[in-house]
């Protein structure tokens, strides 16, 4: 319990939706701060390398921010339905509301929003989270929702994902979410290594790390795809059913994986076909490379075949050259 009995004083109500995801806001703020900091030093870069440097900066920060953000989002799979439904258990009073289901890697969010929000002398605007990560117990959070007396539509949707539900989708989604999250953390680490290698001008290995990042991101999508395509029980509200589809986080992750794949392939191919253009993109001049020594740059060695030098006795203190 907190100082304000479990709710913050700036909330309009104890069960109201928070206007935005604070974790996502923090991540975006950090990466935007990094972008602004690098833009400040952008005028110090001379020539056309400034544009390439800015493009590399924007693409690199975008990939890192996307891989990190989707770890905490709750819209990998979403669905909405508008219907007339009962609001409370053991009551015949019905309300017109939008019911939303949002599935993330760490749990399920169920949204209930009235049309209009003010009905039956109450504010109908709920957004309840039921977690299933390693530190949380889904059934326990569902039981707490029963004790709090959450609206019937929220409890009905949440019950479909409990371990006791005959739908039997809890285990698939929970395991898929765990493995997807783990692989995305590995992808974030390989992204950091690629940034480090590119900053050290090791371009080929940086491209290989981008390819590995892309492979991990696409593999994480495969894990979530397996859970998404398991048979589900219908979530029925009268004549209409709540159906879900891939959400924004899924498509953002797919776009990031394809971007890493194309950039990694581009770096690898250019390094083999046209390395000079690749060095131009990364603003590398010839002085930054290892110098290649050849015989033409060395002083000519004297040839003993052309002349023979004979040393006369020391008393004469002179040299005689015989041809």
pLDDT per position as a tens digit, 90-134: 778 889 999 999 999 989 999 999 998 898 888 889 999 999 887
Q: Which helix (H) or strand (E) holds 143?
A: helix 138-148
pLDDT for res 279: 82
Average pLDDT of the chain is 81
pLDDT band per the 50, 70, 90 thresholds, residue 81 = very high
* Average pLDDT value for residue range 49-64: 86
Asked if 186 and 216 count as a contact pair (C-beta separation under 8 A), the reply is yes
pLDDT for res 320: 44
**pTM of the model as a whole:** 0.78
Range of weakest confidence among 14-28, 97-111, 241-255, 289-303? 289-303
pLDDT band per the 50, 70, 90 thresholds, residue 318 = very low
Asked if 53 and 281 count as a contact pair (C-beta separation under 8 A), the reply is no
Range of weakest confidence among 27-36, 87-96, 255-264? 87-96
Q: Which residues partner with 110 through β-bridges? A: 101, 128
Task: Give the rounded percent of residues in the chain with a pLDDT score beyond 70.
Answer: 80
Asked if 107 and 134 count as a contact pair (C-beta separation under 8 A), the reply is no
* Average pLDDT value for residue range 259-271: 93
* Average pLDDT value for residue range 238-244: 89
Beta-carbon contacts of residue 131 (< 8 Å; ≥ 6 apart): 106, 107, 138, 141
pLDDT for res 229: 77
pLDDT per position as a tens digit, 128-175: 999 988 778 899 999 999 888 899 999 999 999 998 888 888 888 999
pLDDT for res 309: 42
- Per residue, what are the HEC states of 39-88? HHCHHHCCCCHHHHHHHHHHHHHHHHHHHHHCCCCCCCEEEEEEEEEECC
Asked if 159 and 222 count as a contact pair (C-beta separation under 8 A), the reply is no
Closest C-alpha to 87, from 151, 155, 16, 142? 151
pLDDT for res 21: 64
For residues 138 and 52, which has the higher predicted lDDT (pLDDT)? 138
């Amino acid at each position: 319990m907190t100082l304000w009995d479990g709710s913050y004083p700036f909330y309009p109500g104890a069960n109201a939706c928070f206007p935005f995801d604070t974790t996502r806001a923090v991540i975006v703020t950090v990466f935007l701060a990094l972008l602004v900091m690098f833009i400040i030093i952008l005028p110090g870069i001379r020539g056309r390398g400034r544009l390439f440097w800015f493009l590399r900066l924007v693409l690199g920060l975008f990939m890192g921010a996307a891989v990190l953000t989707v770890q905490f989002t709750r819209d990998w799979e979403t669905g909405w339905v508008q219907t007339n439904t009962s609001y409370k258990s053991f009551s015949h009073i019905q309300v017109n509301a939008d019911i939303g289901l949002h599935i993330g890697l760490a749990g399920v969010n169920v949204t209930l929003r009235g049309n209009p929000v003010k009905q039956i002398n109450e504010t109908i605007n709920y957004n309840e989270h039921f977690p299933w990560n390693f530190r949380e117990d889904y059934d326990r959070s569902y039981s707490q929702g029963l004790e709090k007396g959450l609206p019937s539509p929220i409890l009905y949707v949440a019950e479909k994902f409990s371990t006791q539900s005959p739908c039997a989708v809890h285990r698939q989604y929970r395991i898929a979410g765990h493995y997807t999250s783990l692989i995305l953390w590995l992808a974030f680490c390989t992204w950091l290594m690629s940034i480090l290698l590119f900053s050290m001008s090791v371009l080929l290995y940086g491209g290989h790390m981008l390819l590995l990042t892309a492979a991990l991101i696409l593999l994480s999508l495969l894990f979530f795809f397996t859970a998404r395509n398991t048979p589900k029980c219908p979530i029925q509200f009268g004549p209409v059913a709540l159906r879900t589809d891939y959400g924004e986080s899924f498509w953002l992750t797919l776009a990031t994986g394809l971007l890493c794949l194309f950039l990694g392939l581009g770096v690898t191919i250019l390094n083999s076909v046209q390395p000079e253009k690749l060095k131009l993109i990364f603003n590398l001049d010839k002085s930054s490379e290892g110098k290649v020594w050849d015989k033409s740059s060395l002083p000519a060695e004297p040839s003993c075949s052309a002349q023979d030098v004979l040393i006369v006795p020391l008393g004469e203190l002179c040299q005689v050259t015989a041809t």
